[in-house]
Amino acid sequence: MKISVVSNILEANDRIAAENKALFDERGIYAVNIMSSPGAGKTSLVEKTVEALGDRFRIAVIEGDIQDTCDAERVARLGIPVVQINTGGACHIDGNMVRGALSSLDLDGVRLLIVENVGNLVCPAEFKLGEHAKVMLLSTPEGADKPAKYPLMFQESSVLLINKTDLLPYVDFDMAKARRDALAINRNLRIFEISCKNAEGLEGWYGWLSGEIESTRKR
C-alpha cells in the first residue's frame, strides 16, 4: 500500500498552479503572492502599492482569509477589482482556490495580480499558486529570530519587506541579525526596510515590482 498523501496533495496543487501561471503568462499578468504572520501589514502594503502604482498598471487583488471580508472591503475602496477567498479554516491559500477566484475577477487589461495569503508564517510557503514571485513581510514587533525559526518562507521568497520600521525605537528588533539570518537562508533575497505607516522605504519595493511587471509581456 502506498502512503504518500502529502506529496500527492502538493503534486496536484503544483499542476493547478502551473495552469494558473500559464493563464497569467498568456495574458501578460505578473502575479505576486504576499505572505506573512497575521497582522504584519500585508493589506497595508497592498493599499500603498495600489495607491503608488495603480495609475501606471491595472491591478487586481485576491484576498485570502480564514473568514470575513474586511480586507477585500479595504481594497475595494481603492476602486480596483478584488475578490475574497474564505478558506473556512485552512491556514493557507492553494492553487485551486486561486483558480476559483479568477473566474470572479475581471482580468481585462490587468498587468499586476496581488494575492494576499492567509496570515501564517509556515503553510502558505508550501503551496504554489501560479505566482511569479513570493513576497514576504516580517514586522519589527515579531522579533529578529523569525528567519532562524521559520526558514521555509524566507527560502521560498524573492523579496523580504521588513515592515513597521517606525516602531524600531519601541521594540527590541535586531535588524542586522534579521538581515544576516535571512540572507544565510536565501542569499538571493531582496530586502527592503519599510514602514507602511509613514511610507518610508517603499520606493525600492515599487521600483523592484515595476521592473518585474514591465519585463512581463503577453505571450
Ligand X SMILES: Nc1nc2c(ncn2[C@@H]2O[C@H](COP(=O)(O)OP(=O)(O)OP(=O)(O)O)[C@@H](O)[C@H]2O)c(=O)[nH]1
Query: Restricting to residues 130-149, which ones interact with Mg ion according to CB under 5 A?
Result: none
Indicate whether 195 belongs to the interface with ligand X (CB under 6 A).
yes
Query: Restricting to residues 39-68, which ones interact with ligand X according to CB under 6 A?
Result: 39-44
Q: Name the binder of 20 from Mg ion, ligand X, none, CB < 5-8 A by kind.
A: none
Query: Restricting to residues 112-131, which ones interact with ligand X according to CB under 6 A?
Result: 119
Residue from the set 38, 100, 109, 207 that interacts with ligand X by CB under 6 A: 38
Q: Name the binder of 14 from ligand X, Mg ion, none, CB < 5-8 A by kind.
A: none
Contacts 24+ apart (CB under 8 A), 198-207: 198/166, 199/48, 200/165, 200/166, 201/165, 202/48, 202/52, 205/45, 205/49, 205/159, 205/161, 206/49, 206/52, 206/53
- Which range of residues in 17-25, 122-130, 159-167, 175-183 is near ligand X by CB under 6 A? 159-167
Amino acid identity at 91: C
Q: Name the binder of 25 from ligand X, Mg ion, none, CB < 5-8 A by kind.
A: none
- CA–CA gap between residue 22 and residue 152 (Å, rounded): 25
Residue from the set 47, 71, 142, 193 that interacts with Mg ion by CB under 5 A: 71
**Least separation in angstroms between CB 175 and Mg ion:** 24
Indicate whether 95 belongs to the interface with ligand X (CB under 6 A).
no
- Which range of residues in 52-60, 143-151, 164-172, 209-217 is near ligand X by CB under 6 A? 164-172
Look at residues 49, 74, 70, 54 and name the one whose alpha carbon lies nearest to residue 163. Answer: 49
Indicate whether 158 belongs to the interface with ligand X (CB under 6 A).
no
Q: Name the binder of 147 from ligand X, Mg ion, none, CB < 5-8 A by kind.
A: none
Indicate whether 43 belongs to the interface with Mg ion (CB under 5 A).
yes
Give yes or no for a contact between 166 and 135, defined as CB atoms under 8 angstroms apart.
no
- Per DSSP, 131 falls in state -
**Least separation in angstroms between CB 37 and ligand X:** 7
DSSP character string of 6-53: HHHHHHHHHHHHHHHHHHHHHHT-EEEEEE-STTSSHHHHHHHHHHHH
Q: Grid coordinates in use for 48? A: 500603498
The residues of the shown chain that bind ligand X, judged by CB under 6 A, are 36, 38-44, 71, 119, 163-164, 166-167, 195-197
